[in-house]
Amino acid sequence: MKFLDKIVVKENEQIELTKVDGDLEVKDGAVINIPAEVEYLVVNGDLNCDGDIVIKGSISANNVFHRDGDLEITGNVKTKELTVKSRAFRNGPLLIIGGSLECEEASIDGSLEVGEDLTANDVDIMGSCSVTGISKINEYEVNGSAKHGGDIYAGEVEVNGSLKAESNVTIEEEMEIGGSANILGDLKCPKTEVGGSLSVKGTTECKLIETGGSFRGERIAAEEVSIGGSGRFTSADISSELTVNGSVKCEGALRVPLLEINGSCHVGDDSNISECEVNGSMSMGHNLNFETLNVSGSMSCGNDGTGDTINVNGSFKSQGLLKVASEINVDGSVTGDKIETGTMKVNGSLRCEETKADLIILGKHSRARGTLIAKKVILKKGAKAETVIADEVELGSRARVTNLQAKIVNEEEYTDTEPEEY
């Protein structure tokens, strides 16, 4: 066969090709057969397709351009630049590749279906894309919709449309989601920013997660997480800080050195939190372990909580036994079953079946229901308690105790001229 600089395959023409020295132009209805013994139809120029076309075999070309109709290539495709161009006034074009696609750049304004693997440097999806196999993409931008059956390996990913990954996603640098991303496997990414929605069924492993939208995950392993919208996950191990400016629900254990809540948060059983700052509402499960809880709002915890210090400027409620090694400072209300601590200071109300401490102080006009057991109990002016069992009790003016058992009782030690703080 004599090779021409340019070959044009006419409408509805069927032709067999093994090599093209220049460009290959294919019209609507054409069929190109590539002999089985030829690994690739090598086009040393560009492949330009317009209409419904079938190419039976694999093809290699400098650039591949397709518009209008369905182009089906049954084998593999190798090219520098792949373009599927759509005309607004016509049905979008579709490129079906039965094998794998290797390219430097891909711009998909219509639809692309890849039956095996995709390897590319830069991919921009403005229409739709479906890849059955593994995808390796340096820069990946999805402004339309994309679906991947195999693993995704990428340098950077930006999703302004929708992305569905049925397997694992590994990203070297950053993932930005302004639309929606649904990952059924694991996500590994140094930095993930979510302005829309992200759902991960497997483990999310990141250095930094920032979301102003919604984030749903199973297991979180991260250095720092900031949630400005809503977050829900099964368990989380965060090595630095979790900041919540919206709402978070962790159904299982949360482990984090610093938790800052400016909205609402719930964590499950066996959570471990070094320092917790709550400027809203917080609920924790059983077996909570902590160092310091600072609550400006409302907080509750389940059975068998242990920690060092609790400061409450609002309301705090615990179930079962709560052990706090150093002190509990309350400017509001505390409700519990049994509390053990070093020092209990209450400026407000305490409702607990049994409170045991070295020192218990009820501030002016404070109230305590239940039994107070301590080495020393101080009731300031107008404070009232039901039962006090102590080595020493100091009662301010008009302080009252219904049932008092004490070795030493000092009454009216505190006068009306005392400062307000306790």
Render pLDDT for 96-111 as a digit per residue (tens, 0 to 9). Answer: 999 999 999 999 999 9
Give the number of residues written for the chain: 422
Number of helices (H), then strands (E), in the chain: 0, 40
Question: How confident is the model at residue 282, as a pLDDT?
Answer: 87
Render pLDDT for 148-191 as a digit per residue (tens, 0 to 9). Answer: 999 999 999 999 999 999 999 999 999 999 999 999 999 999 99
Residue 113 in any domain: the answer is yes
- What mean pLDDT do residues 7-24 have? 95
Residue 47 in any domain: the answer is yes
Render pLDDT for 230-241 as a digit per residue (tens, 0 to 9). Answer: 999 999 999 999
Residue 250 in any domain: the answer is no
DSSP 156: E
pLDDT surpassing 70 at residue 89: no
Residue 87 in any domain: the answer is yes
Domain C-terminal end among 109, 133, 157: 133
Q: How far apart are CA 332 and CA 312, in angstroms?
A: 7
Q: How far apart are CA 255 and CA 238, in angstroms?
A: 6
Domain C-terminal end among 111, 133, 155: 133
Question: How confident is the model at residue 82, as a pLDDT?
Answer: 97
Residue 229 in any domain: the answer is no
Residue 421 in any domain: the answer is yes
At 87, the pLDDT band (50, 70, 90 cuts) reads: low
pLDDT surpassing 60 at residue 90: no
pLDDT surpassing 90 at residue 413: no
CA 311 → CA 121, 276, 292, 315, distances in Å? 54, 10, 8, 10
pLDDT surpassing 60 at residue 368: yes
- Beta-strand runs (E) in 195-304: 197-211, 214-227, 230-244, 247-250, 254-261, 264-267, 272-278, 281-284, 289-295, 298-301
Domain carrying residue 104:
1-133
Q: Which helix (H) or strand (E) holds 386?
A: strand 384-395
Q: How far apart are CA 196 and CA 251, in angstroms?
A: 22
Q: How far apart are CA 9 and CA 84, in angstroms?
A: 19
Provide the domain count of the chain: 2
pLDDT surpassing 60 at residue 259: yes
Q: Which helix (H) or strand (E) holds 403?
A: strand 400-411
DSSP 93: P
Measured in whole angstroms, the distance separating CA 20 from the mean position of its chain's CA atoms is 51
Q: How far apart are CA 13 and CA 30, in angstroms?
A: 5
- What mean pLDDT do residues 382-404 have? 95
Residue 252 in any domain: the answer is no
Domain C-terminal end among 133, 164, 179: 133
Question: How confident is the model at residue 421, as a pLDDT?
Answer: 40
Question: How confident is the model at residue 3, as a pLDDT?
Answer: 44
Say if CB 357 and CB 378 are below 8 A apart: no
pLDDT surpassing 80 at residue 29: yes
pTM of the model: 0.87
Q: Residue 167 has which token pair?
A: 């397997």
Question: How confident is the model at residue 145, as a pLDDT?
Answer: 96
- What mean pLDDT do residues 279-298 have? 90
Render pLDDT for 186-212 as a digit per residue (tens, 0 to 9). Answer: 999 999 999 999 999 999 999 999 999
Measured in whole angstroms, the distance separating CA 120 from the mean position of its chain's CA atoms is 28
pLDDT surpassing 50 at residue 415: no
Report the SS3 class of residue 91.
coil
End-to-end CA distance of the chain: 103
pLDDT surpassing 60 at residue 33: yes
pLDDT surpassing 50 at residue 330: yes
- What mean pLDDT do residues 286-312 have? 92
Residue 264 in any domain: the answer is no
Residue in this structure with the two tokens 């400017």, named with its chain if needed: 331
